[in-house]
Structure 1
Amino acid sequence: MINIGKINTLQVAEVYPFGYALAPEIADDQVSEPTEVTTVTLPHDAIEGELAIGQRIEVFVGTDQRGDLVATTKTPEILAGETKVLKAVSGTHFGAFFEWGLDNDLLVPKDYQEAPINPGMYYVVHAFYDKKTQRLIGSTKLHYFLKEGSAYLNEGDSVECLVYAQSDLGFKVVINGEYLGLIFHSDAFKPLKIGQSTPGVIKNVRSDGKIDVVLQRDDKTGRDELQQAILDDLEAHGGISTLTDKSPPDAIYQHFNVSKNAYKKALGALFKQKKITIKPDAIRLNDKP
């Protein structure tokens, strides 16, 4: 079986003047059985040297403008079923084209565009094989392909998020490349932009299955980790730091990757534990002179 839009390990079935016919490898116990094998063409100029009949090779299998299968040894930036950030390079009345590492750009038809696409800008695109047109194409309408809920994600799970849109409520994200979620504006303590990847934590899985994400862990484990990080930082700098609860949010984020509110809470907890002293211009470890 040939997987369109994926990396395939295929076998040379025939050698032609213009290239090679590649086919899935047939097991020994299947040779005597009648079988219909689909082949894909690998042009001679796509490789260095020559291939022999029976030789195996890893190739990416895509489609040309007519929908015919074609193989290449190049690996594109996105495979079928993946969702990634791509750059739009041109547009027509029927769609937009994106760079993806191959000679022919990836088409995102008008019907699969969430909003008008401007050449030169980056967008989050999902690649898929369209059986209707028999072509490998892309879409910025992610809800066509990715679910808004998951039975496998739970509150407190660490995830990787890809920002793909902004709404009145917050930033829409792709979670672990498979699901859709939302980071509310109130939880976005650092600047976010379309196409940006960021670690996150599942805040809540709503009754309707939709997923809310936050940028930092706010449970006991997260609070303990931040407090220890502050203590370790003080130890590494002679027991003193000028990063106080009055410092700008950007400075706190750059140093500890947390919001100013989370940092202030951690300082307050350490102060109550009598581990630090808080001054207007500095904080200090209590066991340091």
Structure 2
Amino acid sequence: MIQVGKINELQVCSQFPFGFQLRDPNAEDQFDEQMVTLLSSDAPAELKTGATVNVFVLPDETGALVAKTTPPAILAGQTKVLRAVNATHFGAFFDWGLDKDLLVPTQYQEASIDPGRYYVVHAFYDKKTQRILGATRLHYFLEEHNDDLAPKQNVSALVYAKTELGFKVVIDERFTGVIFHSDAFKPLRIGEQVDAFVKEIREDGKLNIALQRTDKVGRSNLEEAIIEDLEAHGGISTLTDKAQPDEIYSRFQVSKAAYKKALGALYKQRKIVIDKQAVRLNSNKG
């Protein structure tokens, strides 16, 4: 079955002066299968009848299916960061790499959209209008409740909104969650993708996300990372407990508070020595 808004492997069933007709080679009834048109200008060189080709399928202005060999920046079902290029009373348009921009209708907008700015957009195929559309109102399409994730699990989080409590994020392109300000030890930007952890699954199934683990495993991993970093740099580092938070995050992706605790633990274990200028591996552990 042909999936509109996605990549399909289709077979060339006929050729015309203007291009090719494609079909699903696995369709049970080829006579009822809808045809897809691939223009010669979009087709690979020397494409012939019987060959298969991977194409992005979308409807044209009449609702007929057409194919593109170069896919857009976002497929139906995906959530990506796109740039708004225009806004009208009925919707906003986003650059997604095709000749015609992706429409985000007003009813699918979380807030008003300003051209030139970047937003997190979810793409979907609307069967009613037979168009591929976008949405910034993500909770219409992504799950707020989770059955697959577990506490302390690593996730990828895409920031899509800022609130008084913290930041709303898209988790692994499937769920929505929140990073509270107390768990966001560095500034976050809309559209930023960060590595994170499931901090808590609330009683209602919604997800609280954190940028770093603060449990025993997280502390142990950070201590090991500090030792490995020292060993890789000749046993010395100028990243002391007085370093700036952004310097620490750039090196270890943790907060300054977590880094200072890890240094303190390593010092107590006599694995390192610390002075005002540097952190050093302890060569006299005995």
Q: State the TM-score, normalized to the length of structure 2.
A: 0.93
User: Which residues of structure 1 form unaligned runs of 5+?
Assistant: none
Is 1:173 paired with 2:165?
Answer: no
- Code of the residue aligned with 1:7 in structure 2: it is I
Is 1:39 paired with 2:35?
Answer: yes
Q: Residue 12 of structure 1 aligns with which residue? A: 12
- Code of the residue aligned with 2:160 in structure 1: it is Y
**Worse-matched range after superposition: 131-140 or 64-73:** 64-73
Deviation at residue 239 of structure 1 after TM alignment? 3.3
1:275-286 equivalences under 5 Å are 275-286=271-282
Q: State the TM-score, normalized to the length of structure 1.
A: 0.92
Deviation at residue 35 of structure 1 after TM alignment? 4.5
Which of the residues 78, 84, 87 maps onto 2:83?
87
Root mean square deviation, CA, Å: 1.9
Does the 8 Å contact 1:253/1:259 carry over to 2? yes
Matches of 1:10 and 1:132 in 2, distance apart? 25
1:190-209 equivalences under 5 Å are 190-209=186-205
Q: Residue 56 of structure 1 aligns with which residue? A: 52
1:145-156 equivalences under 5 Å are 145-156=141-152
Cα distance change, pair 276–40 in 1 and its aligned pair in 2 (3 A): same
Matches of 1:176 and 1:161 in 2, distance apart? 6
Matches of 1:229 and 1:15 in 2, distance apart? 59
User: Which residues of structure 2 form unaligned runs of 5+?
Assistant: none
**Worse-matched range after superposition: 277-286 or 117-126:** 277-286
- Code of the residue aligned with 1:242 in structure 2: it is T
Deviation at residue 237 of structure 1 after TM alignment? 3.6
SS of structure 1 residue aligned to 2:48: coil
Does the 8 Å contact 1:58/1:73 carry over to 2? yes
Which of the residues 223, 245, 260 maps onto 2:256?
260
**Worse-matched range after superposition: 138-147 or 13-22:** 13-22
Deviation digits for residues 180-225 of structure 1 (CA, Å, limit 9, x no counterpart): 0111111111221011101001000000111011111222222112
Does the 8 Å contact 1:201/1:216 carry over to 2? yes
Cα distance change, pair 72–288 in 1 and its aligned pair in 2 (3 A): same
Q: Residue 129 of structure 2 aligns with which residue? A: 133
Matches of 1:172 and 1:6 in 2, distance apart? 27
- Code of the residue aligned with 1:226 in structure 2: it is L
Deviation at residue 15 of structure 1 after TM alignment? 2.4
Cα distance change, pair 57–285 in 1 and its aligned pair in 2 (3 A): closer
Matches of 1:104 and 1:169 in 2, distance apart? 38
1:94-133 equivalences under 5 Å are 94-133=90-129
Deviation digits for residues 255-277 of structure 1 (CA, Å, limit 9, x no counterpart): 22210110111112112212223
Cα distance change, pair 94–236 in 1 and its aligned pair in 2 (3 A): same
Aligned length: 285
Deviation at residue 278 of structure 1 after TM alignment? 3.0
Does the 8 Å contact 1:76/1:101 carry over to 2? yes
Does the 8 Å contact 1:239/1:288 carry over to 2? no
Matches of 1:266 and 1:76 in 2, distance apart? 45
Matches of 1:17 and 1:150 in 2, distance apart? 51
